[in-house]
Amino acid sequence: GQNIDQPTEMTATEGAIVQINCTYQTSGFNGLFWYQQHAGEAPTFLSYNVLDGLEEKGRFSSFLSRSKGYSYLLLKELQMKDSASYLCAVRSLDNYGQNFVFGPGTRLSVLP
Amino acid sequence: DGGITQSPKYLFRKEGQNVTLSCEQNLNHDAMYWYRQDPGQGLRLIYYSQIVNDFQKGDIAEGYSVSREKKESFPLTVTSAQKNPTAFYLCASGPFGSGNTIYFGEGSWLTVV
């Protein structure tokens, strides 16, 4: 089976940096994805890691350690519009094909 | 426009009725997925399909059924056997291959009345 864990809620201040952690256990690991979801809307893709290390995309960076089953999403220069849920998802390859399993999501509140 | 279209956006169902949620994509993606999201929760996988005429159960398939008769279409039926169907339903699709994400439709809100 697969298990993905994230903190339920986080709060940070506008202009600050926040790190959202994700731990996972899975077989057939084939990539870790981060999505942003505003309330009542569909998730949108933020970042992707398949190899160990840091991937940077503007104000967002994501890190992966496959040996530790661990990833984090780093948000810099926080803005009010960053208040949303952040979903960690693992793609794995099973006997059928590729499967995307999502974590419970972390609800981030950015305060002025 | 290219993308994933879900319909209806809002649907009300009486207890004991079956309802079907539509999902169409014109992105030529092979893989399609259905997820359910309850308020304040993450996404849970209902069914997924990699090719036409084939699909697999996800973690919460009981009470749901799907079909994949065409590459671009993956409708989800919520049957009367699903005891608590009120939720936000998301359809997604994506190409095969490492590095490829999946893309979501706008979602369908189902409420049992």
Contacts with A81 (C-beta within 8 Å, 6 or more apart), sequence order = none
What pLDDT, in 10s, does the model give residues A53-80? 999 989 999 999 999 999 999 999 999 9
Q: Does B95 touch chain A (CB under 8 A)?
A: no
Place of tokens 């893309």: B103
DSSP B54: -
Q: Is the pLDDT of residue A1 over 80?
A: no
Q: Are A98 and B96 within 8 A, CB to CB?
A: yes
CB under 8 Å, gap of 24 or more: what pairs does B57-65 form?
B58/A99, B58/B33, B58/B34, B59/A101, B60/B36, B64/B34
What pLDDT, in 10s, does the model give residues A12-48? 999 999 999 999 998 889 999 999 999 989 999 999 9
B42: nearest CB among A42, A50, A104? A104
- Chain B residue with minimal CA distance to A86? B42
What pLDDT, in 10s, does the model give residues B6-52? 999 999 988 889 999 999 999 999 999 999 999 888 999 999 999 99
pLDDT the model gives residue A95: 73
Q: Does A29 touch chain B (CB under 8 A)?
A: no
